[in-house]
Amino acid sequence: MGGKDVKGKVKGVFGFIKHLAKDPVKTKEELKQRWIKLLLFFAISLGVTIGCGGISGFIMKATEDYDNIISKILNVPVAIGALGALFSFFLIWILLIVTLAMKQRECNKCKSLVTYDDNTSYEIIKQWEKKEVSSNNGRTNVTQTEIALIKISCICQKCSAEKIIQREFKVEQYLNGNLRFSHEIDDLVKGFLTGEYIN
């Protein structure tokens, strides 16, 4: 296999991980397919790590040579598989957040997903600031996050039942006095109801 082929496959794997982590999930079917892809990726990564690690250990034990070239070569897929499994745990956490958000959007009557339209309205129940102090390499970091509890009222596009959602949104955040992000509440509500953005 040429260097370009290896480079292309590596880029393909990272593109796949980026797709799972960042691309919006707008429908239940998309979410289901995302879970299938992720669990398959996790199973392959874990299988490569365990399989190659087991073969490497068997060879070292059988030959009593703990520095043989075959074991060294097998350590490469072991490391790649372990990294893939580690990424999988991070991606599972992201998909769990998306799954819970989509569950909130389910119509109580027909179980279809409500989305943003002209019938959508919201009100701010309360807003507050959350301050977190952490230490990293001897440096103190202060994170200040403005959070809003929003009550969203909408109508199911399929059965016309009313849907009420209460959800917390991170509106603005500063790290050591520097702005990290700032969102309009309109954009947060619309992004949540369309699946474009989960805050």
What confidence tens digit (pLDDT) does each residue in 140-153 have? Answer: 999 999 999 999 99
Q: Residue 85 in contact with residue 49, Cβ under 8 Å?
A: yes
Instruction: Please tell me which residue, 120 or 12, carries the higher pLDDT value.
Output: 120
Expressed in percent and rounded to 5, the helix, strand and coil fractions of the chain are 50, 25, 20
Q: What angle do CA 62, 66, 68 make, to 5 degrees?
A: 90
pTM, 2 dp: 0.74
pLDDT band at 1 (very low <50, low <70, confident <90, very high): very low
- The whole-chain average pLDDT of the chain stands at 86
Encode pLDDT of 17-38 as tens digits.
Answer: 777 777 888 888 999 999 999 9
Determine the average pLDDT of the residues in 110-117. Answer: 93
Determine the average pLDDT of the residues in 88-100. Answer: 91
Q: Where are the domains of the chain?
A: 3-104, 121-194
Among 50-59, 65-74, 162-171, the range with the most confident prediction by mean pLDDT is 162-171
d(CA 196, CA 186): 13
| Sequence-ordered list of residues with C-beta below 8 angstroms from that of 138, at least 6 positions apart, any chain | none
